[in-house]
Amino acid sequence: MATRSDGDDAVVTPEGATPPAAIDLRGINKTFGTVRANNDVAMTVRAGSIHGIVGENGAGKSTLMSILYGFYSADSGVIRVAGKPVDIRSPNDAIAAGIGMVHQHFMLVDNFTVLENVMMGAESGPLLRESIQKARGALLNLASEYGLHVDPEAVVGDLPVGSLQRVEILKALYRDARILILDEPTGVLTPQEAVQLFRILSALKERGVTVILITHKLGEVMAITDSVSVMRRGQMVAERVTAETSPEELAELMVGRKLKAGVSRQAQSVGKPALKVEGLSLRDRYGVARIDDIGFELCAGEILGIAGVSGNGQSELLEVLSGITPISAGRIHVEGRDITVAKPALPDEMRGLRLAHVPEDRQRRGMVTDFTARESSILGYQRDPAYNGRLFMDYDAIDTHCHDLMERFDVRPPLPGIVSAKLSGGNQQKLILAREIDRDPKVLLVGQPTRGVDIGAIEFIHQQLADLRDRGCAILLVSVELDEILALSDRILVMFEGRIVGEVPIEEADRSLLGLMMTNTHQGAAAADLEPLP
Amino acid sequence: MSAPPVELPPWIDIGLIPVINICLALLVSGLIILAIGENPVEAMAIMIRGALGYGEGIGYTLYYTTNFIFTGLAVAIAFHAGLFNIGGEGQAYIGGLGVGLAMLAFDSYLPFVLLLPLGILAGAAFGAAWAAVPAWLQAYRGSHVVITTIMFNFIAAAVMVYLMVNVLIKPGQMSPESREFADAGQLPFMHEILAGIGITVTPTPLNLSIVWALICCVGVWAYIWRTRWGYELRAVGHNESAAVYAGARPRHIVIAAMCISGALAGFVGFNEIMGVHHRLLLNFTAGYGFTGIAVSLMGRNHPVGVVLASLLFGVLYQGGAELAFEVPTITRELVVTIQGLVILFSGALAYMSTPWVTRAYRALLGWRAAATAAGEA
């Protein structure tokens, strides 16, 4: 259905005599094995505009951008940059054509300074000193021009995520990029950081830089882009002027069907406390409190959302509660077991107490990506008698189990033998969630359940969590996505610098209040400082 | 969605590429042989005939193969736990010491049926103990196992010299060797076993331990891929933080994996001391521990691959010895050079040819797709 003509019609040209398009792609095809990742894709991006590309995971947007940036070469098709056909075979060619890219996962050297990272690979001569001086000057210019403030001497490893992204943008601008591609740039940012980023992007646009924004967050598309292309299954299915479309229309175009609105929420009677935390603290090896004397109760049949700017102790909280990190002080009470400094519990014991955990980082914690899906489907339960004979594991039982999970949670492709790394992010997450929910846990810890997951899968995962809550499970939800917290939680705790700085019932919660509490700048902050909630 | 570039099918990845690597090594070896004025084709023929052409050659080849299987498996299992055990040499040496001490202590009291498992246990226990110290240091003190295991090779060599010269030497002789074990403490040679069922072959050092080597292969395979312990071991090797999440204890697994690895290396002593020399002596490990690294790399850390790679190195060792014997201008050192080239190309440079093969394969796919498209049109 979607084709080149579709794209041609929708080219955004306000006046007749505009300068040539910054990017003009025609008939791009790319096939991996039997998968047509890009099928006759055409796209035009007006110079000096912010252009969004939306689509689910696997829709082909990253492939398209990888072709534009020279990671892959297209099987066929024409790329024009500023009206001239170019042959982009490597990122160096792309940089020479004035294209810069900010990747989803930052490509920075942690123990280098900002300055060193920015000039790396673009040094002006064999002696570092000249390069450093030149780069420092350029960096200060860029910083003041675009509002990209980062300390050039700061070591990258010490910087927060938002700053890392700015370093990536600086890297591209330092190489004279006139076209900047950002791949899912807000996936790792707090709402405030995202707002800052958008401010920077607007400044770039004002100075004539063309920005291409790959995302699946429709709110961002509506907020900042001038025009938007929608991809589905390798094809360009629509191109719209942002002002003339709506999130609903875009979502429908992306998924190819209508979506339900939110999860069902039935009136719930909250049960007895399933998890009690008292005076819990965690100090890192430098003695800094990552979790600072927090206490709360989590009851059966409720979802307790933990909101907070990433890096304020939420991740540590999950690791401590799941037994991965031993606590430094305090008490965790679960299923009649007291966990203290003297009597710690390791992850397998916590699992035995019917506490399940969907980790924040599914590829580093939640699964072994080199394992087959069937092996990943029992991670954490590998010693369960259900999957073991006396000596050997019962691979038939594991296979049946995995297939059953895949069927019930719509993991595609439903092949237990597939290597986990080959599943898409959403399907990996569904498999992990399936594994943990299948155990019918009393307490479920969930971290960033939908990070990097496409819209269709988000809907499904949210519904699963809500259903589990309705069956009486106590769920602790950590997420940096406020929308997610607001959509699912019955009660919200806000964390700031390892402390709980406030509790908000869902009826009173809204984005701005939570946003302020997350940065500890709301009115009650001073009081909360003195008197942390129990 | 970052679809990976072309993925090579297994027959290319584990079949064709190793063959290409060996061919490259032989090509370079051929050039060297040519340079010293000999005929490379003839030299290769002598080598292959020497290794596989007659009974005695085959016996020696398989005897070397036995050692390579043990050390190759040792490297492989550690590798699956994310550890690089390059202390196989020392573990084999100390494993042999264990076998020897057990035999010297019990050979006059116990029958063969008890001494056989005792020899296996002693080799395993001593090899494992020698690997356990670096393993503990790695797990609890963060000393890198590559550094400590290689240091332990030197310590093992020094300890053995001391023991053989000062303690275990048979009194009244010059060479640092122990007394010979009693008959009950000797593994039967293959030619003896075959003679028992009426087949006569030339005597060679090949002995019963090759059967144990093959049993170990099956055991290692089953342990790594069919048990929950192997599951946790691989989890630690691939992704330690996921393994911790899964309730595995990485420190315990590091120690367990290194102990199994050391035990396997220790079986070289079982072959050499109980199977061949029937006495304790110096330098019986002869570099098998180091070659095991290349064997494991070439065999992709899989027991089947290890057996195949061990056979290849068995052929190189035996055929090389034959070559040096037959052609006077090709010295022992040149043979070692050829072995070294094979190790270099299949170990250190194992992935050198991969990009070329990938490109060729991709071109082949494209050509085939075009052909099909043309056929359909």
Q: What residues pair up with A478 in beta bridges, in sequence order?
A: A306, A447
Question: Can you list the residues of chain A whose pLDDT is less than 50?
Answer: 1-16, 524-534
Give yes or no: residues A504 and A477 share one domain: yes
Cβ neighbourhood burial of A495 (10 Å; 0-12, 13-18, 19+)? buried
Structural domain contains residue B9: no
Asked if the Cβ–Cβ distance from A66 to B2 is below 8 Å, we say yes
Asked if the Cβ–Cβ distance from B242 to A66 is below 8 Å, we say no
**Partner residue opposite B238 with nearest CB, options A348, A368, A395:** A368
Strands A210-215 and A50-54: parallel
Question: In which element (H, E) is residue A30 found?
Answer: strand A23-32
Give yes or no: residues A223 and A304 share one domain: no
Q: Report pLDDT for B353.
A: 81
Read off φ and ψ for residue A32, nearest 5 degrees: -110, 110
Give yes or no: residues A359 and A216 share one domain: no
Give yes or no: residues A323 and A451 share one domain: yes
Q: Are A201 and A211 in contact (CB under 8 A)?
A: yes
Cβ neighbourhood burial of A311 (10 Å; 0-12, 13-18, 19+)? middle
Q: Walk along chain B (377 residues) and give the pLDDT tens digit of each residue.
A: 333 445 777 788 777 888 888 899 999 999 999 999 999 999 999 999 999 999 999 999 999 999 999 999 999 999 999 999 999 999 999 999 999 999 999 999 999 999 999 999 999 999 999 999 999 999 999 999 999 999 999 999 999 999 999 999 998 888 899 999 999 999 999 999 999 998 888 999 999 999 999 999 999 999 999 999 999 999 999 999 999 999 999 999 999 999 999 999 999 999 999 999 999 999 999 899 999 998 998 888 999 999 999 999 999 999 999 999 998 888 888 888 888 888 888 777 777 888 888 888 888 887 887 777 666 65
DSSP codes, A117-140: HHHTT--SSSSHHHHHHHHHHHHH
Question: In which element (H, E) is residue A96 found?
Answer: helix A91-96
Is B243 at the interface with chain A, CB within 8 A?
yes
Quote the longest CA-to-CA distance of chain A.
Answer: 78
Q: State the Cα–Cα distance between residues B42 and B319, nearest whole angstrom.
A: 12
Structural domain contains residue B178: yes
Per-residue pLDDT tens digits for A383-413: 999 999 889 999 999 999 999 999 999 888 8
Asked if the Cβ–Cβ distance from A32 to B231 is below 8 Å, we say no
Give yes or no: residues A54 and A3 share one domain: yes
Structural domain contains residue B5: no
Give yes or no: residues A295 and A250 share one domain: no
The domain that contains B199 carries what CATH number? 1.10.3470
Name chain B contacts of A33, Cβ cutoff 8 Å: 3, 6-7
Is A357 at the interface with chain B, CB within 8 A?
yes
CA distances from B287 to B86, B90, B265 (A): 11, 10, 12
Structural domain contains residue B219: yes
Give yes or no: residues A289 and A346 share one domain: yes
Asked if the Cβ–Cβ distance from B234 to A388 is below 8 Å, we say no
**Residue type for position A450:** T
Q: Report pLDDT for B376.
A: 62
Q: Is A358 left (phi over 0), alpha (psi -120 to 50) or beta?
A: beta
Q: Please name which of B347, B309, B291 lies closest in space to residue B71, comparing C-alpha atoms.
A: B291
Give yes or no: residues A296 and A220 share one domain: no
Domain that holds residue A83: 1-98+180-187+209-255
Tell me the residue length of chain B: 377
Number of structural domains (chain B) is 1
Q: State the Cα–Cα distance between residues A293 and A532, nearest whole angstrom.
A: 8
Buried b (16+ CB within 10 A) or exposed e, B281-316: beebbebbbbbbbbbbbbbbbbbebbbbbbbbbbbb
Where are any strands of DSSP class E within A194-317?
210-215, 227-232, 235-241, 273-283, 289-299, 303-307
Give yes or no: residues A251 and A281 share one domain: no
Structural domain contains residue A266: no
Q: State the Cα–Cα distance between residues A145 and A148, nearest whole angstrom.
A: 8
Structural domain contains residue A390: no
The domain that contains A523 carries what CATH number? 3.40.50.300
Q: Please name which of A400, A403, A398, A405 lies closest in space to residue A383, comparing C-alpha atoms.
A: A398
Structural domain contains residue A340: yes
> How many contacts, defined by CB atoms under 8 Å, are there between A and B?
86
Place of tokens 């090896």: A285
Structural domain contains residue A475: yes
Asked if the Cβ–Cβ distance from B244 to A324 is below 8 Å, we say yes
Structural domain contains residue B14: no
Number of structural domains (chain A) is 2
Structural domain contains residue A164: no
Spatial CB neighbours of A268, under 8 Å, sequence gap ≥ 6: A301, A302, A469, A470, A490
Structural domain contains residue A374: no
Give yes or no: residues A222 and A334 share one domain: no
Give yes or no: residues A218 and A302 share one domain: no
Structural domain contains residue A241: yes
Give yes or no: residues A282 and A357 share one domain: yes
Domain that holds residue B268: 45-350
Q: Are B5 and B358 in contact (CB under 8 A)?
A: yes
Asked if the Cβ–Cβ distance from A368 to B239 is below 8 Å, we say yes
Is B373 at the interface with chain A, CB within 8 A?
no
**Residue type for position B105:** A
Q: Are A320 and A357 in contact (CB under 8 A)?
A: no
CA distances from A143 to A115, A136, A152, A531, B127 (A): 12, 10, 10, 40, 61
Structural domain contains residue A500: yes
Where are any strands of DSSP class E within A386-527?
443-447, 474-478, 491-496, 499-505
Q: Are A312 and A160 in contact (CB under 8 A)?
A: no
